[in-house]
C-alpha cells in the first residue's frame, strides 16, 4: 500500500505537534503569576490547607512529573474540577459538546452548499473588468467583516423584529432538537459568512489553477461539453484544496466559535472558555484550549489522509523533497 510509506511520518508529526501544544498550554497555566493554592482556597486559608492542596495537586513534584501527570489524566478524560462550580470539567464539557458540534455542522453545511458553487461560478465565468472588481470587493467583504461586528448587528436586527427572544436559551439539543436548530440558525449563518467567502475564494483559485492544465485544453479540443468538463475534469482536481480548507474550517469551529457563541449566548465550548476566563477558572481554560488544539490536529491529520488517498501526487510531493 502506498499510504504506508507516508502515514507513519504524518502520525509522528501530529504526535509531536500535540505534545508541543499540550506542553505550551501546561506551561502557560503552570507559570501564571500567583499561588495556585491561594487562587483556589482564597486568601483566608491556613498554611496546612494550602500544603494539603499542593500535595493533592502534586505541586511538590518536579515540573516534568506534573506535566506527565496532567497529560495522563487528560488522556483518560479526567480534566479536574472547575474552580468556580466545583463540578468535574469533563461533565460540564459533555453537556456543551453537542451544542458546538451542531453549530459547527450547520455552519459547514452552509459553507459547502453555498461557498463551493459560488467559487465554481466565479472561477469558470471570467467577466468584464467591472464585474470582476465587484466580485473582488464582495468576496473581500465576506472575509473582512469580523464575526463580532456581524453577530452584534444580527442580534440587533433580530431583537427589533417581533420573533420572540433573539438570544439566550440555546442548549440541550437532546430535549428540543427543533428548537435548538432554530435558535442556532442565526449564529450558524453569522459563522458561515466568513467561511463561505473563504471557501468561495479558495474554490475559485483552485478552479482557475486547473483550467490552465493541458488536459482541460485537450477536453475542449475533443469538443466535450462545458458542464462535462467542469464536473469531470475541473472539480475532481479542484477538490483537494477545497477539501483541505473545509476540514480546517470544521476544526476551527469545533474548537469553539468563541465570540459568536458568547454574543448569541450559545452554551457551547467557546462560551465555556470565555466564562472560564472571566472567572480565572484555570482547569476550564486549560481543558478548552487543549481540546480545541487536539481537535484541530486530528482534523488536519484526517484531511491529510483523505487528500492523500484522493490524490496520490499530494502525498508524494509532501514526502520527497
Partner 1 sequence: MKDTATESTTRPRNPVRGALASFDALTLTCAGVLALLTLAAVAGPLAGVGGDPTAIVGPRLAPPSAEYPLGTDSLGRSLLPRVIEGVGTTLVVSAVAVLCTAVISTAGGIVAGYHGGAVNGVVMRIGDVLYAFPAIILAILVASVVGPGRTAALVSIVLVTVPLMTRMVGAAARLVCVRDYVTAARISGVSAPRIMVRHVLTNVSGTVAVQTTYALSVAILVEGGLSFLGYGVQLPASSLGLLIQEGTVYMVKAPWALLAPSVILVLAIVAINVIGDSLRDRFEPRKARSL
Residue numbers at the binding site for partner 1 (CB under 8 A)? 13, 16-18, 20-21, 24-25, 28-29, 31-32, 124-126, 129, 133, 136-137, 140-141, 143-149, 152-153, 155-156, 159-160, 205, 208-209, 211-212, 216, 220, 226, 229-230, 234, 252, 255-256, 258-259, 262-263, 273-274, 277, 280, 285, 288-289, 292-293, 296-297, 300, 321
Residues in the chain: 321
Closer residue to partner 1, CB minimum distance, 90 or 216: 216
**Would you call 31 helix, strand, or coil by DSSP?**
coil
At its nearest, how many Å lie between partner 1 and the CB of residue 191?
Answer: 13
Q: Output 106 or 207, the one with its CB closest to partner 1.
A: 207
> What is the phi-psi region of residue 266: left when phi exceeds 0, alpha when psi lies from -120 to 50, beta otherwise?
beta
**Is the CB of 36 or the CB of 148 nearer to partner 1?**
148
Q: Which is nearer to partner 1, 277 or 310 (CB)?
A: 277
Nearest distance from C-beta of residue 54 to partner 1, angstroms = 21
Judge contact between 230 and 124, C-beta under 8 A: yes
Sequence-ordered list of residues with C-beta below 8 angstroms from that of 187, at least 6 positions apart, any chain: 103, 151, 170, 257, 260, 261, 263, 264, 266
Write down the least CB distance from residue 222 to partner 1, Å: 14
CB closer to partner 1, 183 vs 285? 285
| Cβ-based nearer residue to partner 1, 39 or 181 | 39
- Report the nearest approach of partner 1 to the CB of residue 121 (Å): 12
Cα–Cα nearest to 257, from 321, 305, 158, 187: 187
**180 vs 233, beta carbon nearer partner 1:** 233
Q: Could you tell me if 290 and 234 are in contact, meaning their C-beta atoms sit under 8 angstroms apart?
A: no
Residue 176 C-beta: closest distance to partner 1, Å: 28
Q: Classify residue 251 as exposed, middle or buried by CB count within 10 Å of its CB (0-12, 13-18, 19+).
A: buried
At 88, phi and psi to the nearest 5?
-60, 135
Q: How far is the CB of 283 from partner 1 (least distance, A)?
A: 13
Q: From the CB of 137, what's the least distance to partner 1, in Å?
A: 7
Which residues contact residue 129 at a Cβ distance below 8 angstroms, ignoring those fewer than 6 apart?
Answer: none
Q: Which of 119, 142, 301 is nearest to 210 (CA)?
A: 119
Amino acid at each position: 500500500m502506498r499510504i504506508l510509506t507516508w502515514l507513519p511520518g504524518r502520525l509522528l508529526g501530529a504526535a509531536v505537534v500535540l505534545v508541543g501544544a499540550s506542553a505550551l498550554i501546561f506551561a502557560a497555566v503552570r507559570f501564571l503569576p500567583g499561588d495556585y493554592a491561594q487562587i483556589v482556597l482564597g486568601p483566608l486559608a491556613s498554611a496546612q490547607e494550602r500544603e494539603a492542596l499542593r500535595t493533592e495537586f502534586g505541586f511538590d513534584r518536579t515540573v516534568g512529573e506534573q506535566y506527565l501527570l496532567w497529560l495522563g489524566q487528560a488522556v483518560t478524560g479526567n480534566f479536574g474540577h472547575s474552580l468556580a462550580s466545583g463540578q468535574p470539567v469533563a461533565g460540564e464539557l459533555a453537556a456543551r459538546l453537542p451544542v458546538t458540534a451542531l453549530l459547527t455542522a450547520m455552519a459547514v453545511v452552509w459553507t459547502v452548499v453555498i461557498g463551493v458553487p459560488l467559487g465554481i461560478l466565479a472561477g469558470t465565468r471570467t467577466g468584464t473588468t467591472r464585474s470582476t472588481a465587484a466580485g473582488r470587493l464582495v468576496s473581500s467583504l465576506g472575509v473582512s467583516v469580523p464575526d463580532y461586528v456581524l453577530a452584534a448587528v444580527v442580534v440587533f436586527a433580530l431583537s427589533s423584529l417581533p420573533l420572540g427572544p433573539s438570544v439566550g436559551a440555546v442548549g440541550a439539543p437532546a430535549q428540543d432538537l427543533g428548537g435548538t436548530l432554530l435558535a442556532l440558525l442565526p449564529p450558524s449563518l453569522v459563522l458561515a459568512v466568513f467561511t463561505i467567502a473563504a471557501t468561495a475564494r479558495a474554490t475559485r483559485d483552485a478552479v482557475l489553477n486547473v483550467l490552465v492544465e493541458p488536459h482541460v485544453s485537450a477536453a475542449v479540443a475533443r469538443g466535450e461539453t462545458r458542464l462535462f468538463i467542469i464536473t469531470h475534469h475541473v472539480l475532481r482536481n479542484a477538490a483537494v484544496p477545497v477539501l483541505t480548507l473545509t476540514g480546517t474550517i470544521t476544526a476551527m469551529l469545533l474548537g469553539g466559535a468563541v465570540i459568536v457563541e458568547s454574543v448569541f449566548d450559545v452554551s457551547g465550548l467557546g462560551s465555556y472558555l470565555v466564562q472560564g476566563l472571566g472567572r480565572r477558572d484555570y482547569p476550564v481554560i486549560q481543558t478548552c484550549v487543549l481540546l480545541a488544539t487536539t481537535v484541530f490536529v486530528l482534523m488536519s491529520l484526517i484531511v491529510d489522509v483523505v487528500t492523500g488517498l484522493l490524490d496520490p501526487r499530494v502525498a508524494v510531493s509532501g514526502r520527497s523533497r
